[in-house]
C-alpha cells in the first residue's frame, strides 16, 4: 500500500503491464456470468456497462467488519446486475483480475475506504470508469489504487501493452500527483504537512480580488501551503485547516491500523481537543438481521473495542452507546446540534457530513486515510470546487417537506446528467427563509446523493436562533458571512417550491424520483421506517406525530400488515419528543420506538428487510441495492412514511385524508378492507 508507484513488479520503471483479462462490470447478468466463467470479453461485447455503482455494492455494510487482508475476498459482492448478484466471495481474487471497467459515477454513496481497499487487496491495480465520485477517487489515490477515465486504454491493455504510470496520472491535479508519487497520502503528509504554513488569503486581508461565494471565503480563510497545493483555482488540489474532525466506529480500527503502519506506535495526534469519536452505527448490531445472519457480531465487537481504545489512548471526546441499546446520537446530526458553527471547516468519515452545512460551515466527508492524515496534521485535502446555486423560489406547500424538495432535485434532468458532481450546492432564494435549520439539514445532508462536494446555506437569523435554542449560545453573525454580488457560479438551478408535490423515489437509486400521484399502481408496504440522520430530527418527529395524531383521532392505527419503526437521530430528539408528550401516541398507534443510531439506514438494525419480496417505504437518504436489506426500498418524506403505515400502501398524508373523507370509513372497512 505504501510503495511508490514507480516501484514494484512493473516490467520497466514507471510503467504497468497488467493482466489482459479485464473485469467489465456489465449491466447484463449473462455477460457477468460469461466473464466469471473465464470467457474474456471486449468493451463492445461487455456493453452496456453498469452506471452508478455505489460503494454499498462494492463492499456492502457487513463487509465493513473487516479492515485487513480478509477484504480481498469481498469486492463487488453487493453488485447488482439485473435481478442478481453475480459476484461472490473470492471470485475476483481467484479470477486473477487486475483491471476493473465500469460506467458513469463509479463509487457513489458512502465514503467507506473499504471499497477501494478491497479492490486493491484482491489484486485490482487499476479501475477505469467513465466518471468517478469524488470521495471514492480520492480514497483510491490515498492508498495507491490507480484510476482513469480514459476508455481508450482498454484495447491497449487487452493487447498486453505497457502503460506509463505518468500517462494515467497526467490529467490529475498537482496535489493528487504529488500524493501518488509519494506513495500515498500519509507519506506525503509526514513529509510536507506537519508544519505546513497558512497560505496567503487565510485572513481578511489576503482574499482574492474578486467576488466570492460564502463557501469560497471559508476555503480561503483555511488554506495551507504545501507542495502540489500552490495553485488555488477551480479543480486544483488544495489543503485546508480543519476546525473539527470526527470519526465513527466503522473506520477507527482501520484508521489506527494505517497510522501505526506509517508512524509506528508512538505517534501523537494534532490538537486532539478538536477531534470527536462517535459510536453510532453498531449499537443495534445484536438486533441487526444482516450481522446476525452472517455471524459478524463478534467482528463488530472488535471494531467497537478498537474504536474505544483509540479514543482513550488519545484522550478524545467520545459519544458512545447508551446503557441498554442505542447511542447518544448519529455523528453528523450531533455535530449540527452541538458543535459546528458558521464559517468553520468540518470533516468526518461519513458521506453525510455535509449535514452541518445547513449552519453555514463547509462540511464534507472524507475517507479513512484522509482522516488519518487530518489526525496527524490538522489538514484535509480537496479539489477546489465550483459552486452550483440552487435558487429556491416561493414556499413549500403545506404537507410538503425538504425531503420532497431534494427528491425533486435528484430527479431533475440536469442533476441526472451530472451537473452537480463535485460542486458546492449553495441553497439560497426566498424559500430558504421559511425552512427551519432541521429542514435545511435535509438539503445539505443529501448533497451526498446529488453527487456534490457539499451543501451550504448562508447563515441568517434562523441559524442564530437554532444555535441559541440547541446550545444556549449567543452566536453573532460576522459581516463577511455572505456570498458577494457577482460571485461566480458554475450554473444556477431555479426551483419553484410552490410546484413541488409529495415525492417518492422507486427502489435502486435516490434519483428515481417522481410525484407520488404518478404511481400507476398501488404499492403495498411491509415495513415503514422513519429515522436516520436525514429524518430523525425534531421537525421530522413533528411530522410523524401530526399524521399519527390525525389517525388516532379517527380510530386508525398502524395497518396490521405493516411494521412501523421510528428511530430518534439523537438523545436530544428523544428528549424533545418526551417533552412534547409524543411517545404515548406513537406507542398507541403501534410504532416500535428505537433509540438513536444509524440503524436500518445502514442495514445495521431493526427496520431492515430480511427477504427480497419485502417492500419498505423509508425516510432515509439512499436506497441503493442492499442498503437496508435485500428488499425493495422506496424513499419518501416523513409524513408519507407514516401515512403509508396507516394505509398499508404508499400514499401521501394529503391523499390519505382525502380518501378517508371521501369514503367516511367505518371500522374494518375502507383503508383496511
pLDDT over 70 (residue 4)? no
Q: What is the mean pLDDT of the chain?
A: 92
Residue 43 forms part of a structural domain: yes
pLDDT above 70 coverage of the chain, percent: 95
| pLDDT score for 171 | 78
| pLDDT score for 206 | 58
pLDDT over 50 (residue 668)? no
Region 342-369 average pLDDT: 96
Segment holding 335, helix H or strand E: helix 331-338
Residue 637 — very low, low, confident or very high, per pLDDT cuts 50/70/90? very high
Provide the 3-class DSSP secondary structure of residue 275.
Answer: strand
CA distances to 294, 589, 625 from 226, rounded to whole Å, are 45, 59, 41
Residue 670 forms part of a structural domain: no
| pLDDT score for 6 | 39
| pLDDT score for 7 | 41
| pLDDT score for 11 | 56
Same domain, 467 and 519: no
What is the Cα–Cα distance from 242 to 314, expressed in whole angstroms? 18
Same domain, 372 and 474: yes
Which of 119, 146, 171 is the endpoint of a domain? Answer: 171
Same domain, 159 and 221: no
Residue 486 forms part of a structural domain: yes
Same domain, 146 and 257: no
Other beta carbons within 10 Å of 650: 23
Residue 198 forms part of a structural domain: yes
pLDDT single digits (tens) 564-584: 999 999 999 999 999 999 999
Same domain, 512 and 494: no
Residue 627 forms part of a structural domain: yes
pLDDT over 50 (residue 3)? no
Which of 500, 535, 561 is the endpoint of a domain? Answer: 500
CA distances to 121, 221, 604 from 320, rounded to whole Å, are 31, 33, 16
pLDDT over 80 (residue 198)? no
Lowest mean pLDDT among 8-17, 74-83, 445-454: 8-17
Helix 538-553 vs helix 571-579: crossing angle, to nearest 10: 40
C-beta separation of 598 from 532 below 8 A:
yes
Same domain, 491 and 523: no
Q: What is the DSSP secondary-structure string of 293-308?
A: HTT-HHHHHHHHHHHH
User: Whole-prediction pTM value?
Assistant: 0.87
Region 364-388 average pLDDT: 95
C-beta separation of 252 from 64 below 8 A:
no
Other beta carbons within 10 Å of 379: 27
Same domain, 108 and 146: yes
- CB-based contacts of 363, cutoff 8 Å, min separation 6: 332, 335, 340, 345, 346, 347, 348, 353, 354, 355, 356, 357, 444, 454
Same domain, 343 and 288: yes
Q: Of 560, 542, 497, which is closest to residue 653 (Cα–Cα)?
A: 542
| pLDDT score for 106 | 96
Higher-confidence residue of 483 and 671: namely 483
For residue 40, what is the domain's CATH number?
3.20.19
pLDDT over 50 (residue 95)? yes
**Residue 613, CB half-sphere, CA atoms under 13 Å: how many?**
0
What is the Cα–Cα distance from 189 to 367, expressed in whole angstroms? 15
Helix 368-377 vs helix 134-143: crossing angle, to nearest 10: 70
Give the number of domains in the chain: 3
Q: Of 231, 328, 228, 212, which is closest to residue 279 (Cα–Cα)?
A: 328
pLDDT over 70 (residue 278)? yes
Other beta carbons within 10 Å of 196: 19
Q: Is 326 exposed, middle or buried (0-12, 13-18, 19+ CB in 10 A)?
A: buried
Other beta carbons within 10 Å of 389: 20
Same domain, 487 and 509: no
pLDDT single digits (tens) 466-492: 999 999 999 999 999 999 999 999 999
Which of 449, 478, 500 is the endpoint of a domain? Answer: 500
| pLDDT score for 105 | 92
pLDDT single digits (tens) 414-433: 999 999 999 999 999 999 99
570 strand-pairing partners? 329
Other beta carbons within 10 Å of 321: 20
Q: What is the DSSP secondary-structure string of 181-199?
A: HHTSHHHHHHHHTTTPEEP
pLDDT over 70 (residue 652)? yes
Same domain, 97 and 214: no
Same domain, 149 and 243: no
Region 36-40 average pLDDT: 92
Residue 120 forms part of a structural domain: yes
| pLDDT score for 420 | 95
pLDDT over 60 (residue 669)? no
Segment holding 47, helix H or strand E: none
pLDDT single digits (tens) 308-319: 999 999 999 999
Residue 184 — very low, low, confident or very high, per pLDDT cuts 50/70/90? confident
Residue 2 forms part of a structural domain: no
Residue 197 — very low, low, confident or very high, per pLDDT cuts 50/70/90? low
Same domain, 295 and 419: yes
Higher-confidence residue of 673 and 615: namely 615
pLDDT over 90 (residue 172)? no
Domain span including residue 567: 504-664
One-letter-per-residue 3-state SS of 6-22: CCCCCCCCCEECCCCCC
For residue 254, what is the domain's CATH number?
3.30.499.10
pLDDT over 60 (residue 155)? yes
Handedness of CA 657, 663, 668, 671 (dihedral sign): negative
CA distances to 165, 178, 239, 599 from 146, rounded to whole Å, are 9, 14, 21, 34
Residue 381 forms part of a structural domain: yes
What is the Cα–Cα distance from 86 to 25, expressed in whole angstroms? 10
Amino acid at each position: 500500500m505504501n510503495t511508490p508507484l514507480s516501484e514494484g513488479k512493473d516490467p520497466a520503471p514507471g510503467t504497468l503491464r497488467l493482466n489482459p483479462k479485464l473485469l467489465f462490470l456489465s449491466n447484463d447478468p449473462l455477460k457477468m456470468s460469461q466473464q466469471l466463467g473465464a470467457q474474456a470479453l471486449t468493451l463492445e461485447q461487455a456493453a452496456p456497462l453498469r452506471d452508478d455503482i455505489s460503494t454499498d455494492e462494492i463492499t456492502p455494510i457487513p463487509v465493513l467488519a473487516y479492515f485487513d487482508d480478509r477484504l480481498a475476498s469481498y469486492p463487488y459482492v453487493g453488485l447488482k446486475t439485473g435481478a442478481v448478484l453475480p459476484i461472490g466471495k473470492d471470485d475476483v481474487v481467484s479470477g486473477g483480475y487486475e483491471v476493473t471497467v465500469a460506467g458513469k459515477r463509479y463509487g457513489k454513496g458512502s465514503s467507506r475506504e473499504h471499497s477501494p481497499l478491497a479492490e486493491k487487496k484482491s489484486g485490482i491495480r487499476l479501475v477505469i470508469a467513465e466518471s468517478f465520485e469524488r470521495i471514492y477517487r480520492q480514497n483510491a489515490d490515498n492508498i495507491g489504487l490507480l484510476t482513469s477515465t480514459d476508455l481508450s486504454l482498454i484495447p491497449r491493455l487487452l493487447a498486453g501493452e505497457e502503460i506509463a504510470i505518468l500517462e494515467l496520472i497526467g490529467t490529475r491535479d498537482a496535489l493528487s500527483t504529488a500524493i501518488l508519487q509519494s506513495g500515498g497520502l500519509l507519506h506525503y503528509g509526514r513529509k510536507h504537512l506537519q508544519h505546513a504554513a497558512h497560505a496567503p488569503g487565510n485572513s481578511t486581508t489576503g482574499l482574492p480580488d474578486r467576488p466570492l461565494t460564502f463557501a469560497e471565503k471559508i476555503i480561503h480563510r483555511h488554506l495551507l501551503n504545501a507542495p502540489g497545493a500552490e495553485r488555488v483555482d477551480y479543480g486544483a488540489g488544495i489543503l485546508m485547516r480543519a476546525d473539527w474532525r470526527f470519526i465513527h466506529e466503522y473506520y477507527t480500527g482501520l484508521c489506527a491500523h494505517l497510522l501505526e503502519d506509517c508512524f509506528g506506535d508512538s505517534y501523537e495526534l494534532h490538537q486532539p481537543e478538536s477531534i470527536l469519536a462517535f459510536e453510532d452505527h453498531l449499537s443495534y448490531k445484536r438486533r441487526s438481521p444482516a450481522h446476525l445472519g452472517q455471524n459478524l457480531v463478534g467482528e463488530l465487537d472488535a471494531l467497537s473495542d478498537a474504536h474505544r481504545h483509540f479514543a482513550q489512548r488519545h484522550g478524545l471526546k467520545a459519544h458512545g452507546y447508551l446503557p441498554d441499546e442505542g447511542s447518544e446520537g448519529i455523528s453528523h446530526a450531533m455535530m449540527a446540534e452541538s458543535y459546528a458553527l458558521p464559517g468553520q471547516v468540518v470533516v468526518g468519515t461519513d458521506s453525510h457530513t455535509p449535514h452541518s452545512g445547513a449552519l453555514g460551515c463547509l462540511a464534507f466527508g472524507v475517507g479513512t486515510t484522509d482522516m488519518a492524515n487530518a489526525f496527524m496534521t490538522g489538514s484535509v485535502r480537496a479539489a477546489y470546487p465550483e459552486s452550483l446555486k440552487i435558487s429556491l423560489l416561493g414556499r413549500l406547500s403545506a404537507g410538503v417537506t425538504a425531503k420532497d424538495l431534494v427528491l425533486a432535485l435528484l430527479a431533475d434532468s440536469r442533476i441526472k446528467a451530472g451537473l452537480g458532481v463535485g460542486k458546492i450546492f449553495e441553497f439560497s432564494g426566498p424559500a430558504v427563509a421559511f425552512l427551519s435549520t432541521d429542514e435545511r439539514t435535509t438539503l445539505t445532508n443529501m448533497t451526498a446523493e446529488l453527487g456534490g462536494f457539499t451543501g451550504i446555506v448562508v447563515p441568517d437569523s434562523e441559524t442564530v436562533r437554532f444555535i441559541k435554542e440547541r446550545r444556549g449560545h449567543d452566536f453573532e453573525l460576522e459581516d463577511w458571512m455572505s456570498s458577494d454580488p457577482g460571485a461566480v457560479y458554475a450554473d444556477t438551478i431555479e426551483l419553484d417550491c410552490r410546484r413541488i408535490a409529495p415525492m417518492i423515489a422507486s427502489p435502486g437509486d435516490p434519483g428515481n424520483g417522481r410525484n407520488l400521484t404518478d404511481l400507476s399502481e398501488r404499492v403495498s408496504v411491509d415495513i415503514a421506517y422513519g429515522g436516520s440522520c436525514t429524518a430523525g430530527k425534531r421537525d421530522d418527529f413533528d411530522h410523524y406525530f401530526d399524521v399519527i395524531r390525525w389517525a388516532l383521532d379517527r380510530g386508525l392505527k398502524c395497518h396490521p400488515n405493516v411494521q412501523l419503526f421510528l428511530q430518534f437521530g439523537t438523545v436530544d430528539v428523544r428528549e424533545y419528543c418526551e417533552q412534547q408528550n409524543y411517545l404515548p401516541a406513537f406507542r398507541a398507534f403501534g410504532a416500535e420506538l428505537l433509540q438513536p443510531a444509524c440503524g436500518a439506514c445502514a442495514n445495521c438494525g431493526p427496520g431492515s428487510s430480511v427477504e427480497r419480496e419485502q417492500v419498505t417505504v423509508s425516510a432515509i437518504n439512499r436506497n441503493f441495492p442492499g442498503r437496508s436489506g435485500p428488499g425493495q426500498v422506496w424513499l419518501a418524506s416523513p409524513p408519507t412514511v407514516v401515512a403509508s403505515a396507516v394505509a398499508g400502501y404508499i400514499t401521501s398524508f394529503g391523499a390519505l385524508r382525502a380518501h378517508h373523507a371521501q369514503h367516511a370509513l367505518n371500522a374494518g372497512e375502507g383503508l383496511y378492507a
